[in-house]
Chains A and B, each alone.
Chain A
Amino acid sequence: MTDSDAFAKLELELRRGVVVLATLSQLRTPRYGYGLRQALAEQGMPIEEGTLYPLLRRLESQGLLRSEWKIEDGPPRRYYALTAEGRRLLRKLVDSWQGMNAAMARLLQED
């Protein structure tokens, strides 16, 4: 395995760990799949379409998101937003992430 292969695999693992948190964080207000992907990408967290769209359905089936079809200025779109349970989980995940992030910052601090 080359260095770039190893980097790609490990970076993918890192990304996988934060995909759910990143997605939930952007669904405090309703968004549809494509708009959500753009919002994430604009903030430096691009997520592949083939990963994001199925993820929304899985989170919905777990009761963390609710969704509804809407027709506004374009084709019909399915909008997703956090449920009450999703909000509670998001708060917990944010706390946990901030704790880990602080610990990692300390660990990675160069002398």
Chain B
Amino acid sequence: MEANELIDAWVTDVVLRLPRRQRNDVALELRTLLGEELAERVHGAARPPDAATTLAMLRAFGHPADVAARYRPTLSVIDPADGHAFVRWSIVGVAVIWIIGLLELFSQPRDNSVSLLAVLGAWWGRSALPALWWPGVLVVWFGLSAWSRRRRSTPPAWTPRTASHVHGGRPALLLAMIGIALGLIALAVPRLWIDAIWAGRAPAVVYEVFTYSDAFMAGPGPVLFTVLALYVPLYAAMMWVGQKTPLLRRIEFGLGLAGGVAMLWAVLVGPVFMAPVSDVPMRAAMVLSIVFVLAHAGWRRWRRVTPAPA
């Protein structure tokens, strides 16, 4: 290849990565400059520059993609400050989707004539590859937050988030107390809301669907309702103090743990409701709540920092 051909190929590779209106002008300038650089390299030589010398010069100049990038302002879709968080959440999210897909696959009745490889192949097509929607969502999320930060004239000020801070403040606590009280009444005495909805003329099957089993009411039920009820005075105390004191935090943790244990007990001891149509979703919700409580406890532990020499 001739020296000029090499230069033209390199210049073309650079300018094709630039905006169309800039291409020809930059191409002419780069060709001229590279010609002069090359002439300097072979200055004094009896023969014209060969392909090896030209290629060495072009490689020293840089990869066309890198050089083209330098012509334009740096574009970061995700802020460098968010880079690690993006990678971490991408991996965690994809792993969770993959595990759920695997659990779903293996929980279905399996035809023995289908090989394990075929089952995994089905998982790959149904869960593994489609899971990539999650990093896509994160790119959009982090990209939008980076864009909104850049639009601000001053960066957002840091807001302290201490362990005693109550998210949402007193209004959030009040709403939580009302929600828990109403939810507790609805759970403990389903007849109240059934009668309210059907004006006292609900079909018998509705009452049957929301009738607790004896096993549940003999053991875990009252414990679970008591634990839920104790959240009301706890949140009232937090409202009164205006923050989560260490004692209130310990009580909140204890109630969470007690609630988790009561739900586990309820799931293990037998049906919660008499009718399977309401029992299955209720127990599934309890299992999900236990998983959430455990995940939250794990997350808190992972976030805990104990200043100490490494």
A interface residues, Cβ below 8 angstroms from B: 32-34, 48-51, 53-55, 57-58, 75-78
Q: Which A residues are CB-close (under 8 A) to B61?
A: 48-50
Q: Convert B22-48 into 0s and 1s, putting 1 for each residue whose CB lies closer than 8 angstroms to a CB of A.
A: 100110111011011100000000000
B71 interface contact, C-beta 8 A: yes
Contact B26 A48 (CB under 8 A): no
User: What B residues does A33 contact at CB under 8 A?
Assistant: 29, 33
Give the contacting residue for A58; candidates B28, B67, B70; CB below 8 A: B70
CA distance A71 to B246 in the complex (A): 79
Main secondary structure of the interface of A (DSSP, over half): helix
Q: Which of A48, A53, A58 is close to B33, meaning CB atoms less than 8 Å apart?
A: A53
The answer, among B36, B66, B70, for a CB contact under 8 Å with A34, is B36
A50 adjacent to B29 (CB under 8 Å):
no
**Within the assembled complex, what's the spacing in Å between the Cα atoms of A54 and B211?**
75
Instruction: Contact check, A34 vs B37: say whether CB atoms are below 8 A apart.
Output: yes
Asked if B73 lies at the interface with its beta carbon under 8 angstroms from chain A, I say yes
User: A residues within 8 A CB of B254?
Assistant: none
Write 20 A-B pairs (CB below 8 A) sorted by A numbering.
Answer: A32-B33, A33-B33, A34-B32, A34-B33, A34-B36, A34-B37, A49-B37, A49-B61, A53-B29, A53-B33, A54-B70, A54-B71, A55-B70, A58-B71, A75-B32, A75-B36, A76-B28, A76-B32, A77-B29, A78-B32
- How far is A75 from B7 in the complex, measured between Cα atoms in Å? 16
Q: B29 to A78, Cβ gap below 8 A?
A: yes
User: What is the bound-complex CA distance between A53 and B70, given in angstroms?
Assistant: 9
Q: How far is the CA of A75 from the CA of B61 in the complex (A)?
A: 21
Q: How far is the CB of A56 from chain B (nearest CB, A)?
A: 9
The residue of chain A having its C-beta at the shortest distance from the C-beta of B63 within the complex is A50
Nearest 4 interchain pairs by C-beta: A50-B62, A54-B70, A54-B71, A34-B36
CB contacts (< 8 Å) of A55 on chain B: these are: 70
B70 near A50 with CB under 8 A, answer: yes
Instruction: Report yes or no: A58 in contact with B73, Cβ–Cβ below 8 A.
Output: yes
A23 to chain B, nearest CB (A): 13
Q: A34-B33, A76-B28 in contact; A48/B62 too (CB < 8 A)? A: yes
CB distance from B73 to the nearest CB of A (A): 7
